[in-house]
Structure 1
Amino acid sequence: MNDLSTILSEPVARLGATTITLGHALALGALVFLGLFLALVVALWRSAKARTIAAAEAADHARDAEARMAGILQSQAEMQGRMGAIADVFGARQAELNQSIGQRLDAMTGRLGQTMTEQTKSTHESLAKLQERLAVIDTAQGNIQSLAGQVVQLQAILSNKQTRGAFGQSRMEAIVADGLPMGAYEFQATLSNGSRPDCLVRMPNGAPQLAIDAKFPLEAWNAIRAADGAEQQKIAAQAFRRDIEIHVRDISEKYLIQGETQDTAFMFVPSESVFAEIHENFDAVVQKAHRARVIIVSPSLLMLSIQVIQAILKDARMREQAHLIQGEVIRLMEDVARVDERVRRLQTHFGQSAKDIDEILVSTSKVTKRGQKIEALEFGESEAEVRGGGPAKAEAGVRVADSKTGQLRLRVVEGDD
């Protein structure tokens, strides 16, 4: 025992001033072991309790799972029933849908066939119309080719100065002949100085004649159209201006004769485009022509001038016939006076007739009144004649007048005088 006590009291460690012996260490170890044992027991107890609770919860979960499984199985059975019903409904609907689709396909096939037939018919009609239009186009192409040939001929005419003058002359003659009566104009007439203008228009009342020239210089104009560069166009424009000025001077010197022709003359340009180009780009030439008393006219302006001259001629003819019109008006007034006199006589006759009618109305009024008095008389036989078979005795103071027929009986009652 002493050895054991010695061993237990033998120091093992030192903490500061405290000496830890083996006994202390063993006691501390025993306490630690006891604490660990108690902790192990508590842990085992808690673990057993937790397992019990877990087993109970597992059982509860198992029961819940079984209940849910039963519900799921029941729902599955119901779902299978519903799926069967839905399958039946879908089958019926699918059959109806197939039938409807078949009917629609048949109808669509019929419509497509009809549409294809109509489209084929329309296509044939369109092709027939297209062929007709192609025939018309072929005809128009032939006309265009013919027109192109005529344009080439016209170009050939315009390229020759003599034929070009004839072309302008023909256009001018057509305009003048359409607007003025025969005898109011003369083509290629000779003036007193030997000049021959293309046309002379005779003015009324002995006024001087109007000279028209149709020989317009187109060579320089064609050169302007054919020029490529600016320099060539400038040269051609100068030549064109010079030719027009020379032509205007010739017209002014040859055709303006005092007392024989008008103070102004017309220079006819057979193209509206050339006329517009002259007034747009050659204003100086136009001003010189005006100062030289030469008026540049296009076909439309010449036509307008001819219409004005036609109106002047009509006015002059009306003035010449004024005395005839005055005589006719005088005779018309005489006829009106005779009609007035006859109407007045007729009015007098109507007045006399009205007076006679008034007198007739007075007479008829008297006859009507007398007829009313006659209506107041007695008709038929008297009672005495009926009873006695003869005429009754007249009462005192009464005169009776019988008619030959015995139907009219007048009673005249005399007075007391």
Structure 2
Amino acid sequence: MQDILFIVGDRSVTVLEVTVAAGLAMLAFIVLLVFSSLRQIRLRAAADAVAAERIHELEAHLSQLLKSQGEMTGRMQTMAEVFGSRQSDMMRAVNERLDGMGHKLGLSMADTTKQTHEGLRQLHERLAVIDRAQRTITDLSGQVVELQAILANKQTRGAFGQGRMEAIIQDQLAPSAYSFQATLSSGSRPDCLIHMPNGAPPLAIDAKFPLEAFNLLRKAEGDDRLKAAQAQFRRDFTKHIQDIKERYLIPGETQDTAFLFVPSESVFAELNENFEDLVQKAHRARVVIVSPSLLMLSIQVIQAVLRDARMREQAHLIQAEVAHLSDDVARLNDRVGKLQSHFAQANKDIDQILISTDKISKRSRKIEDLDLGEMREVVADQSERLRLVPGDD
């Protein structure tokens, strides 16, 4: 035990010293452990007291919570019952409203379906009308193409103007009042001759308006081409007017005025609006430019003149018929007078008959009022009176 274990500075440390120091250190450690355990025990006791107090408080709170939970459960059950009844009422009301809305929706759908079918029917009808109109437009477009083809050719264009002019004249006048393509003494053949009344010369009508130059005038683009087209149209129109004057205005054989038929109202309007000098030149040459409407009006005037002439030609026949009519009226007047006298005599005879019947009625009433003895005296008196006055009624 006295063996030196180690040396610290000038001091030697033995095993016994180290053992004693270790034992003291162990003892101190044990004491510390005991004090620490005691402290922990005290702390645990204090904590257990606090815990017990808290447990008591928690138990009180728990009992209060259980009580509140019981009350809450009762309220919840009550509210559940109330909500259950209200929910059933609400479901019933909702079902009723849904049924009503379903019925209204069904009616609305039926009405909408009916209106839709009606609209579709009207749409089909309109589509059918549109289809027919489209077919008509297609036919018209084909006819327009044919018309363009006709107007593109000079001969067919002349035939077109001739046809329009002939249709207007044939619709207004009798066949004996006109002649188509008649030959004059000069060998010229106007498109139509209107025969005037009282032996007057016929009226010549030409239907060959120079539409070629006019079409060039319409299609001209630019000032230079327009001026050239206008000059060409003026030359062609002037030449045509001069040809009508030389060929169809024959003194004593035709009227001193001829008609130039323009088969289009638009061409006639443009001619009078933009080429007034040509219209005046035609008037000076005694050539009247007429459109389809003006030709129809002129033909109507001629028709009235022809009708007046025919009436003047038949005036003596009308006068004779009027004289016969006057004689018939006089005879009718005499016969009516005789019939009136017969009626007057018949009325007079009827008045006499009424007087006799009135007397008979009065005498019958007297007979009814008298007795038998008086009746014999009255009969004797009447017999005597009738014997004395045989002509009395």
TM over 0.5: yes
Query: TM-score normalized by structure 2?
Result: 0.66
**CA pair 86-199 structure 1, distance change in 2 beyond 3 A:** farther
Q: CA deviation at 1:260?
A: 1.7
Asked if the contact 1:380–1:408 (Cα under 8 Å) also holds between the matched residues in 2, the reply is no
**Greater length-normalized contact order (CA 8 Å, ≥ 6 residues apart):** 2
> Which residue identity does 1:207 align to in structure 2?
A
1:380–1:409 CA contact under 8 A, matched in 2: no
Give the share of equivalent positions with the same residue, in percent: 64
Determine which of 316, 341, 357 is the counterpart of 2:334. Answer: 341
| Deviates further, 90-99 or 157-166 | 90-99
Give, as a single letter, the amino acid of the residue that structure 1 aligns with 2:267: V
The answer as to whether partners of 1:264 and 1:294 remain within 8 angstroms in 2 is yes
Of 199, 211, 226, which residue of structure 2 is paired with 1:218? Answer: 211
Q: What are the equivalent positions in structure 2 for 1:27-176 lying under 5 Å apart?
A: 99-120=92-113, 122-123=115-116, 126-127=119-120, 130-131=123-124, 133-176=126-169
Distance 1:120 1:363 in 2: 89
| Most deviating of 108-117 and 219-228 | 108-117
CA RMSD of aligned residues (A): 3.5
2:314 pairs with 1:321: yes
Higher mean C-alpha deviation, range 259-268 or range 146-155 = 146-155
> What is the Cα deviation at residue 162 of structure 1?
0.9
Which residue of 233, 243, 266 maps to 1:250? 243
5 Å-filtered alignment, 1:154-303, equals 154-303=147-296
Task: Give the aligned residue type for 2:289.
Answer: I
- Is 2:324 the partner of 1:331? yes
Query: Higher helix fraction: Structure 1 or Structure 2?
Result: 2
Distance apart, 1:179 and its partner CA: 0.7
Cα distance between partner residues in 1 of 2:368 and 2:135:
106
Partner Cα separation in structure 2 for residue 234 and residue 220 of structure 1: 12
Unaligned 5+ runs, structure 2: 1-77, 382-393
Instruction: For residue 197 of structure 1, give the secondary structure of its aligned residue in structure 2.
Output: coil
What's 1:311 paired with? Answer: 304
Shift of 1:107: 2.6
Distance 1:103 1:340, change over 3 A: same
User: 1:344 is matched by which residue type in structure 2?
Assistant: G
Q: How many angstroms does 1:371 deviate by?
A: 6.0
Q: Would the alpha carbon gap of residues 121 and 368 (structure 1) be closer, same or farther in structure 2, given more than 3 Å must change?
A: closer
* Pair 1:338–1:132, CA change in 2 (3 A): closer
Deviates more, 1:151-160 or 1:349-358: 349-358
Shift of 1:320: 1.8
Deviates more, 1:305-314 or 1:347-356: 347-356
Cα distance in structure 1, aligned partners of 2:349 and 2:130: 89
Which sits farther off after the overlay, 121-130 or 138-147? Answer: 121-130
| AA matched with 2:142 | G
Shift of 1:315: 1.6
CA contact under 8 A between 1:186 and 1:201: conserved in structure 2?
A: yes
Report Cα offsets for 1:198-221 as digits up to 9, x if no partner. 000101111111111100111112
Decide whether the 8 Å contact of 1:211 with 1:255 is kept in 2: yes
Shift of 1:183: 0.9
Q: How much has 1:249 moved relative to structure 2?
A: 1.7
Unaligned runs of 5+ in 1: 1-84, 382-400, 411-417
Structure 2 vs 1, CA of residues 119 and 353 (structure 1 numbering), >3 Å: closer, same or farther? Answer: closer
1:124-148, CA deviations, whole angstroms, 9 ceiling, x for partnerless residues? 5545654554455444434333322
| Contact 1:198-1:214 at 8 Å conserved across structures | yes
- Return closer, same or farther for 1:237/1:88 CA change in 2, 3 Å cut-off: farther
Q: Identify if the C-alpha distance between structure 1 residues 250 and 88 changes in structure 2 by more than 3 Å, giving closer, same or farther.
A: farther
CA contact (8 A) 1:402 1:409 kept: yes
